Copies of this chain bind each other. A is one copy, B any other.
Amino acid sequence: MCTPYHNASCANCQDRFGSILFKAEKCNLEEIESAKVCTTYKKGQIVFQEGAYPFGIYCVNTGKIKLSHCGDDGREQIVRLAKPGDIIGYKALLSAERYTASAIALDDSSVCFIPKDLFMSVLQKDASLSLEMMRILASELRKAEMKITHLAQKPVRERLAETLLFIRETYGVEQDGSTLNVRLSREEIANLVGTATESAIRLLSEFKKDGLIELQGKKIRLLNPEELTRTANLQD
């Protein structure tokens, strides 16, 4: 179902995305490059699954990956969106526990796998990579805590506006300069926001009525990002 191959170069990734792995010293990067295995995933396919033990980390080469928890009642909560150059699966590896989230392709994607032992040994000897790793972790933690505060204190309407801007931030827009460059189901949007699907739908059509966005199937155009920012009521 997946096709492993070795011909994707990390150097390519570097040029295109400035992935974090390129904070590693050159010799270590080469070591990683020679050991990594690139795999393609079709939209909807699972890269790794919540509950499984990690055997390495993944670096997104092309495509889009969502990371989501499964709540106790079975409902999904999307905790992160990964784009090319991002690494995923490091949390479980670093804390030596099972995955607490599943990684699922939102688009056809190609993802490099770096074996656990190799990555950990490079991490041991490469201070520069370690520091970058910590920077990423600290930054993710900061975002997570911000999200906690907003979930606790902001109404769904504001959180949805914020989420739309976040999606634009993450995946950018298409040629027209305003259509979000990713196709998410209404349910996925709701699971990002942390609300019921129907509420997300209702508020999306409100936004549409208010001229903030335009909807065409799964395509979402942000017509008025400034007003959307105001709707999100952000201060930081």
Contact = CB atoms under 8 A, between A and B. Distances in A.
Contacts of A194: 148, 151-153
Contacts of A72: 153-154, 233-236
Contacts of A215: none
Given A94-B134, A138-B137, A149 B233 contact: no
A72 B150 CA distance: 9
A120 B20 CA distance: 19
Interface stretch (A102-110, A139-147, A168-176, A219-227): A139-147
Copies in the complex: 2
Nearest to A125: B127
Interface residues of A, number: 48
A95 B153 contact: no
A100 B235 CA distance: 12
Given A144-B145, A148-B147, A135 B75 contact: no
A181 interface: no
A73 interface: yes
A98 to B, nearest CB: 10
Nearest to A123: B131
Interface of A: 69, 71-73, 75, 77, 79, 90-92, 94-97, 100-101, 123-125, 127, 130-131, 133-135, 137-142, 144-154, 194-195, 233-236
6 contacts: A72-B236, A77-B153, A95-B135, A95-B138, A95-B142, A123-B131
